[in-house]
Chain A
Amino acid sequence: AQSVTQLDSQVPVFEEAPVELRCNYSSSVSVYLFWYVQYPNQGLQLLLKYLSGSTLVKGINGFEAEFNKSQTSFHLRKPSVHISDTAEYFCAVKGGGKLIFGQGTELSVKP
């Protein structure tokens, strides 16, 4: 069965600092991987997705993620965060026709 683990439940960071949100998955088949963001009091919005091809995927709002098959990881990065990036971030893997989500990481950007 496929599963997703987000290694950090909370990540505090100062404005303009770089950030990495970690995600590991387990899967015995081809993987499709996603990162979603949930701003306060809103639904989820797609940041980026990996389906095939280049292992470095660029998304919206300056985020990018790298698919690493050998380490079964799909970490999300941003070189310089803004206050407006404060949100909860979810990693997900597509499996059995369903999206399987990680537990979420709360990114808190402080001035």
Chain B
Amino acid sequence: DVKVTQSSRYLVKRTGEKVFLECVQDMDHENMFWYRQDPGLGLRLIYFSYDVKMKEKGDIPEGYSVSREKKERFSLILESASTNQTSMYLCASSQGSNLWGTDTQYFGPGTRLTVL
């Protein structure tokens, strides 16, 4: 079974702090994704990566950056956390080098981040 793990289930940070959310997948997947989930808005794509050291902006990249130094690990970084970044953050991965394909995305359990 594919396993996507996220470093924390719950996280509380203060405004202005730098926040790192880590995601690791164990199935040698090419593609990795970061979403945020908010009530009534569904999931919105923040960033994705289709290869090591490659990254692409999603629909809401402002205030976030990402890092993918190794194939299995994809980190989301909040340079200076703000209260409007309080949300559930979900990581996902999918197989294959073709983003246009039909590969299933596998999700981690999520990190619920609260910024005070």
Contacts and interface: CB of A to CB of B under 8 A. Distances in A.
A83 interface: no
The DSSP consensus for interface residues of chain A is strand
B43 A101 contact: yes
Contacts, number: 49
Instruction: Report the interface size class on chain B.
Output: 20 to 34
B105 A43 contact: no
A32 B102 contact: yes
Interface string A30-55: 00101010000111111001010000
A26 interface: no
B108 A43 contact: yes
A6 to B, nearest CB: 8
**Interface bracket on A:** 20 to 34
19 contacts: A4-B42, A36-B107, A42-B110, A43-B90, A43-B110, A44-B92, A45-B107, A46-B104, A51-B102, A90-B42, A90-B43, A98-B59, A98-B99, A99-B105, A101-B42, A101-B43, A101-B44, A103-B40, A103-B42
